[in-house]
A and B are shown apart, each in its own frame.
Chain A
């Protein structure tokens, strides 16, 4: 199984990573490091799921001939809530997107400040304006997670997960005092969009109003961020979780925020299996005009993302260390946004 080999490989890489970082804790970097200035020319925001991979590539690996960074990849947050992506007083100080959906929004709204968005799904394709390309980067799997000391079953069918997330009164709290307590990201977050799509649930901006057993905010009212096991504070809670970040977290290849979370299987298939229910490509979204061969193109962006020989796609070691599998179509530019 590809995945299981990957798991072991990630563990073996641990020592190498710690050495390369030269830091005692071995924690991975967050946001562009060192902090700008100078401002690397290609700016990325968006999904948590792939941020540590892109941080690794942009901060540590991909350099120009003079050893300067080419890209800057910003985390999902939460602090500081404003980020600055270009040089110049007052230039490109934009809100920090907290997930892939708002990362794509920011790419659309701030074309001079953002160059790519990390996203984990292309199901929003028909609702996005034309003019953007989803470039696949790696294969990830989305599944659910729960506390290792909790009482959520380690395997659930997709039918049961659907009932849970639709607040079946027999299965969910508070209708059932012992019921499950589902958590998920905010409306527009890629993991939520993808998960609901797979389960056959129609999402909406007021979904958690209509289905109040599902929580997409924490106790303070802040939106739930992806791939963070620390939200699980009750034995009956479950939350969506991406395999890539989970593996990277427990191997300390990136900041370990998994808390007490363990991953569950769906329909009896391990999330590490390539046939897992939630297996999916993850993408970087760029402006099609930057790469379409019609002048002016952005050569930096093309070098980074386009083609199997691109800087991102050829760094298979980093991709695997981040907990993902590689893809034969990495760098393909055929999937475009729009109806």
Chain B
């Protein structure tokens, strides 16, 4: 076992392609850690060896489950026989979980043989599991393995369903069908869930073990399937009656399981209850780092720092009495000269375009090509113009009814000749059903979004495309998104088209069902939502269907196993957390780079002074060929004059940690998450100096100066997106102010509508803020007093509903889009 681990580690160190420590074999893979575990199968599956890439210190994240020594799955389209089923379970018995403790059966995968992915344990008169202990119902019908939720007594009777109050198809992490390739190996990306995502399992629940707090341990269970059914019959065929039918929880199948223990970081109470609490307000880029640092900061009776995730704009307006984490500084014209702010860099990361695209060779491909069936692509090159196409709803399948000008556009990225010329390895391995028409993007405004648009706009081809010039293949921008005012801090999606059908099932009550582009292609709640969804093959799309004569919004199924193709615009830490590879983007030197330790450090070194001393601005046009163009820093900023002594003391401690031990990268609590890069020494020094300044300078008299910038340069005006962001942050909304100003005819449904109608929280802040003072007391009342100690340990987007215009605004957007829809509804289907 140790030898095997050593081999695995050696292999990964040798293949360090990402530049991050603990890197794994394929770019984007969750890194193999020193807690990887390999377990062998037994009986018919004695040759099977399953490895899990990380089994300790787990949070809600993605791990790799890989295996060797299995038989290839039959066949390349379906899962008739010889496949693997993977689930997460709880259970305090050290020997492993009972089958009733497993989260399985809820995937909702549509199949001709549904029991294979369910909890049913009685099948046909001709198919009976002789080892099954749950009897079939006396009067016929179906029986199930019950679900035993943590904290409840073990159920005594049979179950009645595949779903329950704890999990359903929207939340389950089970991998009901996993493919073994032609060479007998397989690899899946499994989302490990804590008690926050899976309340019925309770993994990571803080438990007192011998005086210290541990997270409740759980299990990963793999059930291998061959071609033998529970009654011994061989099922080697390719239709319903000649393939496997029974559940992995059926006793005979369950006996072949492989069980691997999972250790979790304690969730929710890294800090003892009753610790004094100190709020920090900040953007999403620092959320994962902050949650990790929390436990180290409160150890030994220290302060409990709570994090409220907001947009950069809102964070910049939240300085009264607090520390805020942002990328871009408060515009100098909004800061009174006698009240200088203190900035300290705390995090280095960036924005990425992550992807989850699996090879889909046709069923008649060569054996060599079929070997790649379902295997994830590990690299992708995108140009600014391709990104522009993805972000402007310009591919045909990105909208409900393509405008006339779009009718001959490719259906998606994977069918765009510009993409295929650049990425020829995708040819022949894509499926027209999953063409990648767009990317998952967040609904909130963000400084890094402006950075992305600046990078896009600087490219002449992309600019021309956005202005309406077709590319050399004739593809045109979606006219609804033509001539956007860029850069902007949001992702405008103005296409108003809707498709309509009538359902007349109920006599006399025909129902009109109207699905608009923002229903089938909605926004994500934030970047974590986008990344997690992409890792699950979930496009977040919805359709409008009839239920009891009423139109109801129903979520579309996730993409099929092995048939995933989805992109997401996320911060780099989120991409690494959910095991997603990231696209190579060209920098100004023409080199295609992914975000790695080296490329982010180069991107940071190329940053230019902003309009504010001590704050650097990202330069998407840096000429260093090694630089990643979307590198971004996170700065802590505070107005020391508004800090009471206790707050001052706390924030000083925070900055000392952030500029010191917090930059140590790793998976342990207190460390810097993988996917962020430890700050260079000069920036750490700046942070420590800022801490010292806040600590020692107790009066901020007029004329007192700020601590010098780390590079000692004189701040100059900065032509990048920073300036635009600065302008719009004073505007009414915190998103899309730019395009509102220049495209009045195109009433953009962004951020909840023009200012007069539905003011966003940032709007309220702006109206309350009295220049030159930065005091905004109502902000505190609006946003504070949420104890969100582990708000991002949850990583469940519904937790983060504080100030984001998330789910409610999406419905607003849909409604708004519908109201403004042109009379373009043509298709009437039955």
Contact = CB atoms under 8 A, between A and B. Distances in A.
Contacts of B506: 109-110
B156 interface: no
A339 interface: yes
A241 to B, nearest CB: 17
Interface stretch (B102-110, B470-478, B793-801): B102-110
Nearest to B361: A159
A102 B162 contact: no
B362 A205 contact: no
A306 interface: yes
B396 A210 contact: yes
A332 interface: yes
Nearest to B362: A159
A110 B364 contact: no
A47 to B, nearest CB: 15
Interface in A268-287: 275-281
A294 B364 contact: no
Instruction: Say whether chain B's binding surface is mostly helix, strand, loop, or mixed.
Output: loop
Nearest to B126: A328
A223 interface: yes
Most buried by B among A121, A158, A208, A276: A158
Interface stretch (B139-147, B268-276, B571-579): B139-147
Contacts, number: 167
Contact of B141 (A197, A200, A216, A333): A333
A277 B139 contact: no
A224 to B, nearest CB: 10
B181 interface: no
Contacts of A157: 363-364
B543 A205 contact: yes
Given A110-B507, A133-B141, A206-B827, A275 B237 contact: yes
A275 B239 CA distance: 7
Given A209-B827, A275-B237, A280-B240, A158 B363 contact: yes
Contact of B77 (A82, A200, A292): A200
B366 interface: no
Interface stretch (A7-15, A63-71, A147-155, A161-169): A161-169
Interface in B234-288: 237-242
Given A126-B109, A200-B78, A329-B126, A306 B142 contact: no
A94 B504 CA distance: 10
Given A126-B109, A158-B363, A280-B240, A206 B114 contact: no
B400 interface: yes
Interface string A86-126: 00000001110110001001100110000000000111111
Given A166-B432, A329-B126, A334 B112 contact: no
A262 interface: no
A98 B162 CA distance: 31
Given A127-B110, A280-B112, A308 B125 contact: yes
B239 A95 contact: no
Most buried by B among A106, A121, A139, A335: A335
B428 to A, nearest CB: 12
Given A277-B238, A334-B120, A187 B829 contact: yes
Instruction: Say whether chain A's binding surface is mostly helix, strand, loop, or mixed.
Output: loop
A281 B126 CA distance: 15
B434 interface: yes
Interface in A156-214: 157-160, 162-163, 166-168, 186-188, 194, 197-202, 204-206, 208-211
Given A159-B364, A211-B432, A339-B106, A205 B515 contact: yes
A167 B433 CA distance: 10
Contacts of B114: 122-123, 125-126, 335
Interface string A299-339: 00000001010000000000000000000110011111011
Nearest to B105: A339
Contact of B161 (A162, A194, A338): A338
A21 interface: no
B74 to A, nearest CB: 13
Interface string A71-84: 00000000000100
A98 to B, nearest CB: 8
A95 B140 contact: no
B141 A275 contact: no
Interface in A8-65: none
Contact of B124 (A198, A216, A334): A334
A332 B829 CA distance: 35
B466 interface: no
A280 B241 CA distance: 8
B168 interface: yes
Interface residues of B, number: 63
A338 B505 CA distance: 20
A123 B396 CA distance: 28
Given A281-B240, A292-B140, A123 B433 contact: no
Given A109-B548, A187-B829, A210 B126 contact: no
Interface string B528-541: 00000000000000
A203 to B, nearest CB: 9
Nearest to B501: A205
A326 to B, nearest CB: 13
B399 to A, nearest CB: 10
Most buried by A among B106, B125, B242, B543: B125
Interface string B300-318: 0000000000000000000
B748 interface: no
Contacts of A338: 161-163
Nearest to B112: A123
A336 B142 contact: yes
Contact of B125 (A105, A209, A328): A328
A124 B110 contact: yes
Contacts of A198: 77-78, 112
A199 B77 CA distance: 7
A279 B161 contact: no
A123 B136 CA distance: 23
B324 to A, nearest CB: 44
Nearest to A82: B507
Nearest to B107: A126
Interface in A212-248: 216, 223
Contacts of B111: 123, 197
Contacts of A166: 431-433
Contacts of A130: 161
A288 interface: yes
A126 B126 contact: no
Interface string B325-343: 0000000000000000000
Nearest to B120: A334
B830 interface: yes
Given A339-B162, A339-B163, A280 B364 contact: no
A278 B168 CA distance: 30
B242 A275 contact: yes
B804 interface: no
Contacts of B108: 126-127, 339
Contacts of A123: 110-112, 114
Contact of B363 (A159, A186, A216): A159
A296 B161 CA distance: 22
Q: Which 10 A-B pairs have the closest CB atoms?
A: A293-B139, A159-B363, A159-B364, A126-B108, A166-B432, A333-B140, A200-B77, A329-B124, A202-B433, A159-B362
12 contacts: A97-B505, A126-B110, A139-B241, A200-B363, A280-B240, A293-B140, A329-B126, A332-B124, A334-B123, A336-B141, A336-B142, A338-B163
Given A200-B431, A293-B138, 15 more contacts: A110-B506, A125-B110, A130-B161, A160-B364, A162-B363, A167-B432, A187-B830, A216-B829, A280-B239, A292-B140, A333-B140, A333-B141, A333-B142, A334-B122, A335-B114
Interface of B: 77-78, 106, 108-112, 114, 120, 122-126, 136-142, 161-163, 168-169, 237-242, 362-365, 396-397, 400-401, 411, 431-434, 499, 501, 504-507, 515, 543, 548-549, 556, 559-560, 563, 827, 829-830
